[in-house]
Amino acid sequence: MGKIAFVFSGQGDQFSGMGKELSERFETARSVFSLCDSVRPGTSEQCFAGSDEELKMTVNTQPCLFAFELAAAETLRANGIAPDMVAGFSLGEVAACTFAGVFDCRTGFSLVCKRAELMQEASEKVNASMAAVVKLNEDTVRRICSEFNGVYPVNFNCPGQITVAGLAEKMQDFSAAVRTAGGRAIPLKVGGGFHSPFMSGASDAFGKVLSGVKAGKAAVPLYSNLTGEVYGDDVAGTLSKQIMNPVLWEKTVRNMISAGADTIIEIGPGKTLTGMTSKIDASVKALSACDIDAVLAEVGKC
């Protein structure tokens, strides 16, 4: 019998209203949102009714997505669907760590709030943005990036899709170079140049925060963005370095599949990771908790 993996999503799929129905229907979800509100008042209201511009601000995006993701994951667990392994994309890795028991919910949420604050501060110091490059291979994307000072390949998502971070002033010319090479650069709904050298200050500061936090052992295999492998003992180093280094997502998913995962459930308000899973291995059952009834029906009957 195959295994189930939960993958917690990153920034970009947030929208006003996310989690409202989930909270109304499931007591477990309400409890998570309530706890998050006790740490950061107004979090659930931002999820349920915040404007798109408000939710695009990193300092808001990350806590709101964490709250939704943990609420959805705990709801699935309360209904008998639990993963054999977990991973998270960027901020989703903090949610994955929390769900797996490395941090308790209050600590995990406090950490993601601090992470968001530090990354917001770093992004305000440099006018940078991100774009997903599609239809080009890794070597080509790396070559084009090397032609521009301040543009970096940062997220290796799936075949034919690599995210770059770059100085805003360079991105128009970079996009033109991508088109010339036969690809397309799609701007992302994020507020900075994450997983790049622009985030070095945030990475160092978050490492200091994490050094004062006691981390437990994950209850299930927990995969790292930094290496694409199962976590080692250095939780603080792994999570802090992740902020300024590329996300090795395709490698992570392939390693989870090699470890037996044949059902991968995206824990997030959208289907970005679900689409990536299908492109990495079409034989894997890829589902999203944004339609929790479909997940309960599909996986609950297995």
Q: What is the DSSP letter of 289?
A: G
What's the chain's length in residues? 302
Distance CA 43, CA 70 (A): 13
Helix (H, G, I), strand (E, B) or coil at 132: strand
Quick check: is 203 catalytic?
no
Distance CA 138, CA 197 (A): 19
Q: Confirm if 130 and 188 have CB atoms less than 8 A apart.
A: yes
Q: Confirm if 4 and 73 have CB atoms less than 8 A apart.
A: no
Quick check: is 258 catalytic?
no
How far is C-alpha 160 from the geometric centre of its chain's CA atoms? Answer: 19
Distance CA 46, CA 61 (A): 9
Structure-block tokens of residue 212: 């004062």
User: Which contiguous run of DSSP H or E holds residue 170?
Assistant: helix 168-180
- What is the identity of the amino acid at 282? A
How do beta strands 222-223 and 85-88 pair?
parallel
Q: Which of 9, 44, 90, 288 is catalytic?
A: 90
Q: Which of 9, 110, 175, 195 is catalytic?
A: 195
Q: Which residues are catalytic?
A: 90, 195
